[in-house]
Amino acid sequence: MHFFTMATLFYVIPWLLKFSYKDAVTIAFISSGTQFEVAIATATVVFGASSGAALATVVGPLWEVPSMLTFVKLASKTQNYFSHNTIN
């Protein structure tokens, strides 16, 4: 849910500010990214590799990949909304 919320927010705001499509997509992906690698390492060190916390942090990235692919598809389909909104 975090990815979709942040990606949508940071895709719509650049559109409202009349950014180019290329810039809006870049901003959305960078702003919505989370640091799962750090979370996995921290949970493993603090709670141990066989803990539920470590397992839970590993499951998170499994949701992020399909979310990113869905966002790519949606962004591609809405690209034409940016054609008239261009700031260099």
pLDDT at 57: 79
Conformation bin of residue 86: beta by default, left when phi > 0, alpha when psi is -120 to 50: beta
Query: Which residue type occupies 56?
Result: A
pLDDT at 84: 58
- What tens digit of pLDDT does each residue of 10-19 get? 999 999 999 9
- Predicted TM-score (pTM) of this structure: 0.65
Sign of the alpha-carbon dihedral angle for 36, 26, 3, 69: negative
- What tens digit of pLDDT does each residue of 36-58 get? 777 788 888 999 888 888 888 77
Please, how many CA atoms are within 13 Å of residue 21, restricted to the half-sphere of its CB?
12
Across the chain, mean pLDDT equals 83
